[in-house]
Structure 1
Amino acid sequence: MDNGTVVIAADGAMTFEPAADFNGEINFGYQVKDADGDVDSANVKVTVNAVNDAVDAVNDEVTVAEDGSITLNLTGNDSAPDGGLEITHINGVALTGNAQDIAVDNGTVVIAADGAMTFEPAADFNGEINFGYQVKDADGDVDSANVKVTVNAVNDAVDAVNDEVTVAEDGSITLNLTGNDSAPDGGLEITHINGVALTGNAQDIAVDNGTVVIAADGAMTFEPAADFNGEINFGYQVKDADGDVDSANVKVTVNAVNDAVDAVNDEVTVAEDGSITLNLTGNDSAPDGGLKSPTSTAWR
């Protein structure tokens, strides 16, 4: 029969069981007969009174790729026999009924204006995330459950970014080539400079018009060639924990400084009543160029 069952025991005892969570009116008929075979029929009316059924929120588990997103249907396995099932809170934050972003550890629940929900893990995060939510039904009954999100790791690319530094002529500058690089999978390290493999020990690597000096502790400085000024370019390569590699360029601007001219004493020997050619600037220096010979020479 609709919405219920008559259960007859072996001894003839009868019970009636309404269908689960049904309330309302049920009607069914029955027929009797006597020893003479006379029959008659009647009706049974069963009134099933409603009770306040508890709402039931059930834990959810979803899986998403690192840097991806996934649609959430948190009430898909929940139940509210009295109807009106709705989510009221996520991670302790009340839902507004409008578009809303709710932060959880290492991610965000994004609620659209139409109520659709997605979950977005934090950038480059992988691992397990847990947060709670609360539901209620038409009678105001509430229940809570947990959401477990498994974020599967993906192989993130390492990113080497070009560097620019400035140094004075004949000076030196500390290099931090990986300071603006990124390796979401960790293990960022420089493997080559100007095509030369790093040894992990103290090392000098020549580049055009300069030298990259690597100390035993890995600290790096750049020293331009003596008296050089202008632009120097060299490349470097990095790798991450997964073995992914990337390359970038270093641009060094060497600013000129005013180098002092240096006149050095001269000594010559000449015979009495003789003469000698003089090259007075032969041992002098003028790093900035333009060294001129004396305009006059006096013998005393």
Structure 2
Amino acid sequence: TIDSPGVLGNDTDADGDALSVALVSGPSFGALTLNADGSFSYTPDEGFGGTDSFTYTASDGTSTGNVATVTITVLNPNRNHAPEAKDDGYVATAETLLTVSASEGVLANDTDQDGDPLTAVLVGGAAHGAVTLNPDGSFDYQPEIGFTGEDTFTYQASDGSSLSEVATATIFVGSAANHRPVAVNDNYATTVDQPLTVPAPGLLGNDLDADGDSLTAVLFSGPQNGTVALSTDGSFLYTPASGFQGRDSFIYRIFDGEVHSALAAVTVYVNAAPPPAGGGGSVVDGGDDDDSSGGCLLGGAIRRVMQHLELARYGMEDDLLDSLAKDQNRGHHNRLDSLLADDRWQL
């Protein structure tokens, strides 16, 4: 309910004449009572949520002005939201039945804001095969005899009250003689705020194809805590988000010219930057690379990186470092391999 002057509150007349309102067209989703003084009451239809409108004119008793529109936004927390269906991709073999379970079916990546259970509804069948789509999202696809290539069918997700937009399921049908390539997970490491550049063959270096086909890398989803630029030859540039430290990952698959592999993950460990050199000490190399017994640790050693040894500190208390320094000052030698065995240091 809106009191007077209501819709006339922002209307004007050059002569200062009193104005009155006349309804031109009513709302589409509710009931309206519009009064001559501009006041009105509006009652939305039960369950409606969204935008409604009506139109009116203002008159000064002699002439009538232009048609104006009143827009009303109806907020309804109980309004049902349509589900969201996302496109899907699958791989099949020529002249071979493809059976996809519900856990991997077309609904597996679809969502509903209200948490309603979803069912799949076929919209358009495949052009080069037969599709049987079940309500739980599982389906069977039988390609036509001799067909290889890309085929599609379309569907919608239903929450019982409304339908999603139309989504497309794409099926890559490879020849029976061709074997699906195998993408293998990869691991890399960098430090905070340090981009990681990996040259070709990069993440393709450990991937396999039984037919020896040339492979290309295809990005499926990017990292959560940085950005990645992936090239088809497997090389990539990963840039961690500013200040991020921890584990990040992105997903890719490979393509042999006919079919895609299953998805594989590339994990990037973003480690803390190495501590700055300090303490006035050094590691003296007086013997073999794998034995420090021929040299000694001086002053604030074990805090620095020298020559062939790279030591990273992981939680060793300062008093233990001081103790080591005192032992060294008394002529005692601490073997690096004994420190490493305690899992407090990494060589």
TM over 0.5: no
Higher strand share: 1
> TM-score, with normalisation over the residues of structure 1?
0.29
> TM-score, with normalisation over the residues of structure 2?
0.25
Larger radius of gyration: 1
**Of the two structures, which has the highest relative contact order with CA contacts closer than 8 Å and spacing of 6 or more?**
1
